[in-house]
């Protein structure tokens, strides 16, 4: 249970396990209407192998409500001259707190984040995003490029989720 008193529904953990085993590509979670529990947004689950998964997932994020998300990010990496491009994946935890969300929702969301994240063993990247401009592939590529294992892999990211860098 979070310091805010918010509980994590077991279905959230099941979705994380599905993401880690590559059964799904992404999923969002939200605070229940009474703000006492973090639950799965059933209409946000994206199956592995879906076309335009990033665009579909980002379109599911509301403009005026907070969400938590998990996403299995895939990048193509330039491994250097004469080498085939490599693929890297990162299990990503996202906190979506748009500036237009209510202050109460942002406060409960922020104080409950750690309770959810602690249930997700193996998170490799965490993003805290507040606006649609931060969902652009170029912004995410810039963020991922600073990771040590990406910086030391050839000449950097050449594609993010099928979107050319």
pLDDT digits (tens, 9 = 90+) for 61-101: 999 999 999 999 999 988 877 888 888 899 999 999 999 99
Token pair 């998964």: residue: 53
CATH code, domain with 147: 3.40.20.10
Note down the domain range covering 93.
7-164
Residue 1 in any domain: the answer is no
- pLDDT on residue 107: 94
pTM reported for the whole predicted model: 0.91
pLDDT the model gives residue 4: 62
- The answer as to whether 37 is a domain residue is yes
User: 87: burial class by Cβ within 10 Å (0-12, 13-18, 19+)?
Assistant: exposed
For the cut 70, the answer to whether the pLDDT of residue 2 exceeds it is no
Q: Exposure of 39 by Cβ count < 10 A (0-12 exposed, 13-18 middle, 19+ buried)?
A: middle
In this prediction, residue 113 carries a pLDDT of 95
With beta carbons less than 8 A apart as the criterion, state whether 90 and 144 touch. Answer: yes
Assigned domain for 73 exists: yes
Question: Which tens digits make up the pLDDT trace of 111-163?
Answer: 999 999 999 999 999 999 999 999 999 999 999 988 888 877 777 898 899 88
């Amino acid at each position: 249970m979070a310091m805010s008193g918010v509980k994590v529904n077991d279905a959230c953990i099941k979705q994380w396990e599905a993401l880690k085993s590559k059964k799904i590509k992404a999923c969002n979670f939200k605070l229940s209407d009474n703000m006492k529990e973090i639950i799965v947004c059933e209409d946000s689950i994206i199956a592995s192998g879906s076309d335009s998964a990033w665009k579909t997932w980002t379109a599911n994020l509301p403009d005026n409500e907070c969400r938590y998300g998990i996403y299995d990010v895939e990048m193509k990496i330039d491994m250097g001259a004469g080498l085939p491009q490599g693929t890297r994946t990162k299990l990503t935890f996202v906190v979506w707190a748009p500036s237009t969300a209510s202050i109460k929702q942002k406060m409960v969301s922020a104080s409950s984040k750690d309770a959810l994240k602690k249930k997700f063993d193996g998170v490799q990247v965490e993003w805290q995003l507040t606006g649609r401009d931060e969902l652009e592939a170029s912004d995410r590529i810039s963020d991922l490029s600073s990771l040590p294992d990406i910086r030391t892999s050839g000449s950097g990211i050449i594609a993010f989720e099928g979107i050319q860098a």
